[in-house]
Structure 1
Amino acid sequence: MLVVFLAGGILVATQSATGPDPDLLELVQFAPAIAVVVVLLVWWGRWRPPLEVSLWRPDAALAATAAGSVLVVLALPAVVVVALGDSVSLSAVHAGSAPIGLLVLAQCVGACGEEIGWRGFLQPYLRGRYSVLVTGVLVGTVWGVWHVQIFTVGIAYAAAFLMSTITMSVLLAVLLDPFRNGNLLVATLFHAVVNLGLLAFDDVSGREPLVWTLMAVGAACCAAAIAAVRKFRGPAGTSDQSQGYATAHRAAASLDIE
């Protein structure tokens, strides 16, 4: 985690000096990926980290569930904010004069930079030790605290933001847990769509804590619904995934990696 924060600080300084437009791409998003590379180099030949970075086409049901979930996460605050008299406009989804296609591509690349660290490495690593819920909470807490700038905005904003990162992380932990392939792709697209959707809330100044809180409610409801359906039906592939996590846990434990 030290590497993530150090790399983040360097990338923030680099962006301030050289660009690009933060609305288009934030260089700090690549800090988690850099941290994973450092871990791989440090432990090269001594430990095989539990990485889930496949970009294969995901299971159709997984993709549909992820798409529905991200729509709920964004639609709930949009409906409430509009009902309160503010506007949410897709026309606000832009980054200066950059083409929309470039914005979407840049957001996907940036989200991938983060997700290599969060869902590609940290989630499977912690899943070898903890339950799905605890893993999601831990990853979401790290994910949220890593956005250190939130603590300069105010307690209400920071608390609501952390609530949203934790619940969205729990949602992704529940969503991806039974699957061995496509995790990075689904997590990246989920993350990128959330970031793009947030641009539509640019005109709701003062209601940001409400937006984050409602996103957290939406994510929590989706996670609970997915978990309930999986429990009722019995998720395919869970045993294979559990075996993989257990193997990673035993390998890490044998090296006293804590």
Structure 2
Amino acid sequence: MTSRPPRMWVPTTVYVLVAFVASGILVAAQSATGPNPELLELVQFAPAVAVAVVLFAWRGRWVAPFEVSLWRPAAAPTLTAAASVLVILAFPAVVLVALGGNVSVAAIHVESEPIGLLVLAQCVGACGEEVGWRGFLQPYLRSRYSVLVTGMLVGTVWGVWHVQVFAAGPAYASGFLLSTITMSVLLAVLLDPFRSGNLLIATLFHAVANLGLLTFSDAGGREPLLWTLMAVAAACCATAILAVRKFRGVTDSAPRESAVSCSIDPKLSLDGTCRDSDNFRC
């Protein structure tokens, strides 16, 4: 590992460009070979491909912060993530039903496929994304910026990466971008003090959100409102978490050391040191 890491914008730019290019290739591959896009979208693996390219490009010269622990998630962020995603889904559901919309759990299905396969596919696809967003980009930017700025930057790239939303009109795209930014800030705030199990928590949060969004399949043309309500709920959850931590005297404002990293082995990091530690899909 070199003592002089690359300028921050270089790996970030490579990651973003590869993620967009890989997305186009994977979309084309799905149209040519499958699988059923309602079950699993290959484009979800584009962020993981981008991470692999960054790691390969700087192999032997620089170890990027890379948090992909799938083991021993801490109880506090796990329970908080579960409660947050339920709030993010329940709040718009209540509002939309009050406005005459239809929200149905029965909408969580894909033709004749068993529900278990759908859940598994959503978890696999969400993991493919989160390896990039919360596994690489978030800890990398966090080594330079505050938790709030990091969340906003990751959320902006995450939202713009869903280029198809811009075809749905400015109101839809604005609501969607607002939701990805606020949910990214929430995940940045939620996961920042922890290391163990972060990828698992982010993956399950993402998968549950995507599955929950299927219940809004008949939103009655209120999709921009749906995204905005989700953004409001996510912002409230992030604010509540920060308020509790401030009350307890915990602060997350300072950038983390860039050397923080962990590997698939929960006790071994990438640098060899031991550590304990429907189109609504987002």
Same fold (TM over 0.5): yes
- The letter of the residue matching 1:35 is A
Query: Which one of the candidate residues 92, 117, 128 is aligned to 1:77?
Result: 92
Question: What is the CA RMSD across the aligned residues, in angstroms?
Answer: 1.5
Give the helix-richer structure, 1 or 2: 1
Residue identity in the other structure for 1:248: A
TM-score, structure 2 normalization: 0.84
CA distance in 2, matches of 1:130, 1:208: 32
**Matches of 1:247 and 1:124, distance apart in 2:** 8
CA distance in structure 2 between the partners assigned to 1:191 and 1:234 by the alignment: 29
- Aligned runs of 1:14-163 on 2, under 5 Å? 14-163=29-178
Q: Does 1:4 align with 2:15?
A: no
CA distance in 1, matches of 2:201, 2:214: 20
Distance 2:170 2:258 in 1: 41
- Asked if residue 246 in structure 1 is aligned to residue 264 in structure 2, the reply is no
Tell me the CA shift for residue 21 of structure 1: 1.6
Please say if residues 163 and 213 of structure 1, whose CA atoms lie closer than 8 Å, have aligned partners that are also in contact: yes
Q: Deviations over 1:69-91 (max 9, x none)?
A: 00000000000010011110000
Q: What amino acid does structure 1 have at the position aligned with 2:89?
A: L
CA distance in 2, matches of 1:26, 1:155: 24
Q: Which runs of 5+ in 2 are unaligned?
A: 1-15, 261-282
Q: Matched residue of 1:16: which SS?
A: helix
Equivalent position of 1:254 in the other structure: none
Matched, 1:224 2:235: no
- Does the 8 Å contact 1:111/1:191 carry over to 2? yes
Question: What letter corresponds to residue 212 of structure 2 in structure 1?
Answer: G
How high is the TM-score relative to the length of structure 1? Answer: 0.92
Deviation digits for residues 4-43 of structure 1 (CA, Å, limit 9, x no counterpart): 0010000001111122121211000000000001111111
Does the alignment pair 1:169 with 2:184? Answer: yes
For the 8 Å contact 1:125–1:248, the answer to whether it is kept is no
Which 5+ residue runs of structure 1 have no aligned equivalent? 250-258
After TM superposition, list the pairs within 5 Å mapping 1:201-212 onto structure 2: 201-212=216-227
Q: Secondary structure at the match of 1:49?
A: coil
Give the C-alpha shift of residue 247 in structure 1. Answer: 3.8
SS at match of 1:7: helix
Contact between 1:170 and 1:223, CA under 8 Å: does it hold in 2? Answer: yes
Residue 198 of structure 1 is matched in structure 2 by 213
Q: Which stretch shows the higher mean deviation, 202-211 or 107-116?
A: 202-211
Conserved 8 A contact 1:178-1:235 = no
Aligned length: 245
